């Protein structure tokens, strides 16, 4: 049933965008990490479903990686980091929740408009839709990074951005396995680096509020 297959893929991709919105809505750090785990879970389901309907077995491995690393290990590691560093559990935003969500809506509309226009010649409706949704998730991840003061939430935004990239590559068929591994490793390394960075910030300033660093820049910007 091609219709049902399309509908389920549409449902999973749409839920991914929905969960990205939910991440913007959270105001507590532990809830944010749980939402991120949910997003990774949905991503694994979406990639697995794509593997099933495309008959591409290497995508099962991608789904597995997403499930194990991003849905289980990374949130657990970040939870532990928060506990160990005693980081302030509240997510401080630059503007309120409602303007951020409005901006998010605008970004989703923009990416859908753009992607549907750019891919007019593509045959697979599924691929076009996945590209539109994944650009939305990428932009929402960037929005999260830009509107949050807490470094941990910026890291989560970065990771959700990467989830969007994975969705894009599964939709466009034929991504070889090796690219997936390298992408995953680069993200892992980025996480380690950011984790070390966080430790250092915490040691120096007793907080991970990135605003505090502004004090020590060369030219003071008022």
Enumerate binding residues for other proteins (CB under 8 A).
Answer: 3-4, 7-8, 10-11, 14-15, 17-18, 21, 25, 96-99, 101-102, 104-105, 108-109, 112-113, 116-117, 125, 128-129, 132
Residue 186 makes CB contacts below 8 A (sequence gap 6+) with none
Q: Min. distance of Cβ 34 from other proteins in angstroms?
A: 15
Separation of alpha carbons 137 and 131, rounded Å: 10
56: burial class by Cβ within 10 Å (0-12, 13-18, 19+)? middle
Output 65 or 172, the one with its CB closest to other proteins. 172
- Candidates 88, 104, 187, 118; CA nearest to 147 is 104
Closer by beta carbon to other proteins, 111 or else 151: 111
Nearer to other proteins, 42 or 67 (CB): 42
Rounded Cα gap, residues 132 and 119, in angstroms: 9
Q: Which helix (H) or strand (E) holds 147?
A: none
Q: How far apart are CB 164 and other proteins at their closest, in Å?
A: 16
72/116 with CB nearer other proteins: 116
Shortest Å distance, C-beta 125 to other proteins: 4
| CB of 11 vs other proteins, minimal distance in Å | 5
Instruction: Judge contact between 102 and 53, C-beta under 8 A.
Output: no
> Which residue, 92 or 206, has its beta carbon nearer to other proteins?
92
């Amino acid at each position: 049933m091609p219709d049902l297959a399309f509908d389920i893929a549409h449902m999973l991709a749409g839920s991914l965008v929905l969960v990205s919105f939910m991440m913007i809505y959270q105001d507590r750090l532990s809830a944010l990490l749980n939402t991120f785990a949910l997003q990774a879970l949905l991503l694994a389901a979406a990639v697995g479903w794509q593997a099933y309907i495309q008959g591409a077995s290497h995508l099962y491995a991608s789904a597995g990686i997403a499930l194990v690393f991003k849905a289980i290990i990374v949130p657990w590691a970040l939870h532990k980091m928060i506990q160990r560093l005693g980081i302030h559990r509240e997510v401080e935003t630059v503007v309120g929740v409602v303007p951020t969500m409005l901006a998010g809506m605008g970004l989703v509309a923009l990416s859908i408009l753009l992607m549907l226009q750019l891919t007019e010649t593509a045959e697979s409706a599924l691929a076009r839709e996945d590209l539109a949704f994944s650009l939305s998730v990428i932009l929402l991840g960037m929005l999260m990074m830009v509107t949050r003061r807490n470094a941990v939430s910026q890291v989560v935004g970065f990771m959700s951005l990467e989830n969007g990239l994975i969705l894009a590559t599964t939709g466009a068929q034929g991504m070889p396995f090796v690219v997936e591994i390298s992408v995953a490793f680069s993200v892992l390394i980025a996480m380690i680096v950011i984790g070390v960075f966080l430790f250092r910030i915490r040691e120096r300033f007793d907080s991970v509020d990135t605003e505090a660093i502004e004090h020590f820049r060369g030219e003071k910007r008022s």
